Structure 1
Amino acid sequence: MKRRQELALGGLGVLLAFGACEAVGRAGIVRRGYLPPASEVLARAVELAGDSAFITGIVATLRAWALGLGLAIVLAVPLGLLLGSVPIVDSAVRVIVEFLRPLPSVALIPLVSLLLGTGTETKVALIVYASVWPILLNTIHGLGETDPLAKDTLRAFGFGRLSVLLRVELPATAPFIAAGVRISAAIALILAVATEILSGFGEGLGIFMAQASLATDGTRDVLAGVLWAGTIGLTVNSVLVRAERRLFPWTPDRRAAA
């Protein structure tokens, strides 16, 4: 019941926003060249679905997104388990982590481009750098939230450090890791599109938007690209939320949502 209510309210919010943008565009409060009516933007977004070159760009962006996010998971989860399990290692690298974490990924585009060239490698490297932090920190935090009684019970029965990690700590940390992956998925998509826009090379949704912004009447295409990016992000987030609810139904927030 609560889920249906949330969907209904979300749909109502979308309709209100659509209506407001349509009204402003039709009323001439803002020039159509700057803000075309929402219906025109939506029609252009639907039209782009039949453009093979545009779809090829979308696939290129999603490929870089998936590869970067996958590499971030492979790097962040083991590292987070190590830092969360071995305090001396965590203390040794904590300063480095706190120094690197706030650095904006987009500021690294010129440096990474010089090192890796103008290709998918640059996008993937920047996506990995930006996406690794939420997963890493959530993994460390999840380990800290593990029930100490469960760990002590296994140790009392003679289980070693690795067994405790695999049997208790990793399952307890899994929902935190999943939440980190969901956050990083959005960050990865932002970086994929932003890197394409700012670097101006290769192919992808960001390249389409960058080229459209240079056209005399390209605002509609830019907004259509934004609509596609938002739709992809919403779809990815919805899939990951549903996966979390299925995989970890025992967590309190999942039980409340059910």
Structure 2
Amino acid sequence: MTTASVGALLRTWRERRGISQLELAGRADSSSRHISFVENGRSRPSEEMVLRLADHLDVPVRERNALLLAAGYAPRYAHTPLDAPAMGALRAGMEQLLTGYEPYPALVVDGTYTVVAANRGIAMLLEGVPEDLLEPPLNAMRLTLHPRGLAPRIRNLRQWRGHLLAQMERQIALARSEPLRALYEEVAAYPLPPEPEPGSGTHRPGGPDDAEAPVPYIALPLLIEHDGHLLSFVSSISTFNTPLDVTVAELAIETFLPADPATVKYLRSLGP
């Protein structure tokens, strides 16, 4: 197997970002001639230049190590397992955040949507999911879109599925991740369940009066059933700024904010 040169890798990232050599040179305080020489293998970039170009091309941390290795330099970014002692403070901080968000759902996933931490709000939504789907390692995309997972309970599944697949497509475009691409192909192939019949018995947590009032959603909601009640959430995803470790760079914290007062009331009624 032939290893790609640093120039070829940089050219691939530049073209993927839709940036010309001249534009990249301007951003990186270089010249288009030098960028061309680097991409064609006529010039070996310094370690500083590799990192500068990677920064302006928004290359993921994992792939920055690959660029440095291809250029003949040592990797700059560690890849520390999340269960390592050095990650203790990070784990404690994430657990505190997830617990503090209860009773609303929140979880932490890695770069391929493997669930690394979740709170009781997520456990509540997963009630009744078949045991074989809950065997570790849990994968958030599989659990959500699998026809025996949460998919049959999501009342706006076609919209929510489209949102999730588009999100994965954007990530695949930003990072060269074969595991993520394989996951996308798997979940995109799951069959869609039949759409629920009108008046199927699911109701809003607050009762008929709440169900009659239109909800002015601020974003595409996740409409999901729980114990005969229809809950609505909007999600927010947070990542770590300026990560210096591959593991940290690929973590994402997703929180689900109730999208209507009835959902708030219902979740609080479940108790601690």
Assess same fold via TM > 0.5: no
Q: Which has the higher strand share?
A: 2
Q: Which has the higher contact order (CA 8 A, sep 6+)?
A: 1
Q: Which has the higher helix share?
A: 1
Q: TM-score with structure 1 length normalisation? A: 0.27
Q: TM-score with structure 2 length normalisation? A: 0.26
